Amino acid sequence: MDWLGPEEWQAVALSLRVAFWATLAGLPLGVFVAYALARWEFPGKQILNGLVHLPLILPPVVTGYLLLMTFGTRGPVGGFLQDIGIVFAFHWPGAALAAGVMAFPLMVRAMRLSIEAVDPKLEQAAATLGASRMWVFATVTLPMILPGVITGAILAFAKAMGEFGATITFVSNIPGQTQTLPSAIYAFLQVPGGEGPALRLVLISVVVAMAALLLSEVLARRVAKRVGGA
Amino acid sequence: MLSVSLNHHLEDFDLDVRFDAPRGLTVLFGGSGSGKTTVINAVAGLLRPDQGRVSVNGQVLCDTKAGQWLPPHRRRLGYVFQEGRLFPHLSVRQNLRFGQWFAPKNAPREDMARVVDMLGIGHLLNRRPNGLSGGEKQRVAIGRALLASPRLILADEPLAALDDARKAEILPYFERLRDNSDIPILYVSHSAGEVARLATTLVALDGGKVVRQGPAVEVLGDPMFTPSGVRAVGAVLEAQVAAHHDDGLSELDAKGARLFLPNVGLPVGAPLRVRIAAQDVMLSLQKPEGISALNILQGRISQVRAGDGPGAIVSLDTDAGRVLARVTRRSVAAMGLSEGLNVYAVVKTVSIAPQDVGG
């Protein structure tokens, strides 16, 4: 396709990579946190719930700044990670981290709803049949919440594709390293004559977002049918 | 043998229960709020009792004093729940196999084909639970419990959610289980009919305490035992099918005495139990003649127990076994009913409900 320049392609490819890793890394943690919030009673549950949802409510710039303070090379966690060779700030994994944090609440909400819909009596029944907690989760809970997990993952992917505020604050806007789709659109709009490339990237954003939504609907419906409409 | 001893504080009352369940089927009997579901859940490990000890054939499942606790998945149970609780995302076949995935490799294994055949669920194997009728679901649930290689079978009112026709469909499976298996069965119920048909041993609970326990036929024939509701009082006779007649009646042999019932649907020679509700029994001082009732049993009165109201329960030892009759206190006085008197018990053939008759 000639209508996208190399710089624009770079932005699209980077965005896909960032969103992919943000979703994949967030999935196990998302399922765990959603399960804990849906099923367990523990001290600090409301605090955990608040922390998970904070990125949804805070200005993205604030989230980005907090990430920079924590995971920047001078931050407490970032400094330690730098010593063992992992650098988030101003590198693409940082963009994935920012996107993952911003997408996390959406993912957890979808999963938590589907976990709450699973009757704990079925999990009890599985336990009486000899399944340990891990096996109950693997053979009963997880298959039954699969539609919610898929919906959550795809929503998170779409959100990660479009994350802007926290990303640009945390890892800046470096072409080829941290310039994701929205950052590229923003950059194009800052220079004269950039409307053309910007519009093309906007179209791509719209298509990706729509495709993600449709895909999640179709997949969730198909899986829901397979697991018995539960 | 299952041994249970539990103390547990509940919101409304304190549970204080101690009983043994030998081989066969033990019914935990009681009204709602008697604590029977709490007991069965403590045996299953779904509830941690404040104090107690539960053991099956010598293996301790829970002993609060010794600090022993086996989680439910290591107790090797077959639990049949009231609502079936089949896994909706698995086929019937996968539901049946679920317990086998986790059973120890050296556990005695029930043959899948035999269980499927016994329960008549062969045509359902590839279907999902959502499309099954209530009776079919419950049969699959029984199969699932059996195939888990259990050391103990638990059933919590497994028939309560079914209509009478479905109940009649499921009851025979529990009878077969009771008669063909060495695994103790603990069965929670509030239905006197189920107790009469199924129970080898009866443990009656009320307000969290055991009020009676013992062999079922003995406890049910005791006029002092009056479970909830007058309709529930009734003794059980053990009999054999002697013949089937052309007019739709079955003739039973109860230790020499003859009983006539609407066709019982069992082959000649088959053993069965008949529950005779006390309120369906009339008493006569002379041998009645020229009446329509077919079942007349002679016996000696062993006890007369006047209730709080106008009624009394008369306990009669007949050749067929003990029969309870509910009559008015006025009749007791007018007929001079007292211990040692010879009387005739009259039971209308059609008043014996089909759910009170079983193998």
Does the pLDDT at position B359 exceed 60?
A: no
Fold of B2-220: Rossmann fold (3.40.50)
Q: Does A122 touch chain B (CB under 8 A)?
A: yes
Minimal-distance CA residue of chain A relative to B143: A129
Q: Show me where the domains of chain B are located.
A: 2-220, 234-358
Does the pLDDT at position B307 exceed 70?
A: no
Contact A129 B79 (CB under 8 A): yes
Chain A residues touching B144 at Cβ < 8 A: 129
Contact B76 A227 (CB under 8 A): no
Q: What is the pLDDT of residue A229?
A: 46
pLDDT digits (tens, 9 = 90+) for B248-273: 888 888 888 888 888 888 888 888 88
- Band of residue B25 on the pLDDT scale cut at 50, 70, 90: very high
Averaged pLDDT, A140-153: 91
Q: Min CA distance, B90 vs chain A (Å)?
A: 7
Which of A129, A135, A140, A223 should be substituted to probe chain B, the one whose Cβ sees the most B Cβ atoms within 10 Å? Answer: A129
- Distant-in-sequence, close-in-space partners of B198: CB < 8 Å, separation ≥ 6: B25, B27, B171, B174, B175, B178, B187, B189, B358
Chain A residues touching B75 at Cβ < 8 A: 128
Q: Min CA distance, A130 vs chain B (Å)?
A: 4
Q: What is the pLDDT of residue A227?
A: 66
Q: In the sheet that B342-347 helps form, which strands lie side by side, from edge to edge?
A: B281-284, B342-347, B295-306, B311-318, B321-328
- Measure the CA–CA gap between B12 and B28, rounded to whole angstroms: 19
Find residues 126-145 of chain A whose CB sits inside 8 Å of chain B: 126-133, 135-136, 139-140, 143-144
Find residues 143-182 of chain A whose CB sits inside 8 Å of chain B: 143-144
**Of the candidate ranges A145-149, B23-27, B325-329, the one whose mean pLDDT is the lowest:** B325-329
Contact B87 A127 (CB under 8 A): no
Minimal-distance CA residue of chain B relative to A144: B89
Q: What is the pLDDT of residue B163?
A: 83
Contact B83 A127 (CB under 8 A): no
The pTM (predicted TM-score) of the whole model is: 0.78
Question: Per-residue DSSP letters for A53-93?
Answer: HHHHHS-HHHHHHHHHHHHSTTSHHHHHHHHTT---TTSHH
Contact B88 A229 (CB under 8 A): yes
Contact B102 A125 (CB under 8 A): no
- Distant-in-sequence, close-in-space partners of A127: CB < 8 Å, separation ≥ 6: A133, A136, B45, B46, B71, B72, B73
Contact A125 B74 (CB under 8 A): no
Q: ipTM of the predicted structure?
A: 0.79
Contacting A with CB below 8 Å, chain B residues are 44-46, 71-79, 81, 83, 85, 87-89, 98-99, 101-103, 128-130, 144-145, 148, 154
Inter-helix orientation angle A142-162/A181-190, to 10°: 10
Of A130, A140, A229, the CB nearest to B130: A229
- Band of residue B26 on the pLDDT scale cut at 50, 70, 90: very high
pLDDT digits (tens, 9 = 90+) for B124-151: 999 999 889 888 999 999 999 999 989 9
pLDDT digits (tens, 9 = 90+) for A9-62: 888 889 999 999 999 999 999 999 999 999 999 999 999 999 999 999 999 999
- Measure the CA–CA gap between B143 and B97, rounded to whole angstroms: 9
Q: What is the pLDDT of residue A79?
A: 80
**What does DSSP assign to residue A42?**
-
Within chain B, residue ranges assigned H as helices are: 36-44, 92-102, 112-119, 134-146, 164-180, 192-198, 216-220, 329-335
Averaged pLDDT, B119-126: 92
Q: What is the pLDDT of residue B227?
A: 62
Which of A121, A122, A128 should be substituted to probe chain B, the one whose Cβ sees the most B Cβ atoms within 10 Å? Answer: A128
Contact B73 A140 (CB under 8 A): no
Averaged pLDDT, A125-142: 94
- Band of residue A230 on the pLDDT scale cut at 50, 70, 90: very low
pLDDT digits (tens, 9 = 90+) for B173-184: 888 888 888 889
- Measure the CA–CA gap between A207 and B41, rounded to whole angstroms: 54
Give the H or E element holding residue A116. helix A92-116
Q: Min CA distance, A103 vs chain B (Å)?
A: 29
Choose among B11, B18, B9: nearest CA to B50. Answer: B9
> Is the separation of the CB atoms in B92 and B167 below 8 Å?
no
Q: Does A117 touch chain B (CB under 8 A)?
A: no
Which of B73, B81, B92, B95 should be substituted to probe chain A, the one whose Cβ sees the most A Cβ atoms within 10 Å? Answer: B73
- Which two tokens mark B252? 């039973």
Q: Does A222 touch chain B (CB under 8 A)?
A: no
Does the pLDDT at position A1 exceed 60?
A: no
Does the pLDDT at position B165 exceed 60?
A: yes
Q: Min CA distance, A37 vs chain B (Å)?
A: 22
CATH code assigned to B234-358: 2.40.50.100
**What does DSSP assign to residue B288?**
P
Q: Min CA distance, B72 vs chain A (Å)?
A: 5
- Measure the CA–CA gap between A84 and B137, rounded to whole angstroms: 57
Owner of token pair 């470096």:
A174
Of A128, A143, A229, the CB nearest to B44: A128
Amino acid at B346: V
**CATH superfamily for domain A6-226:** MetI-like (1.10.3720.10)
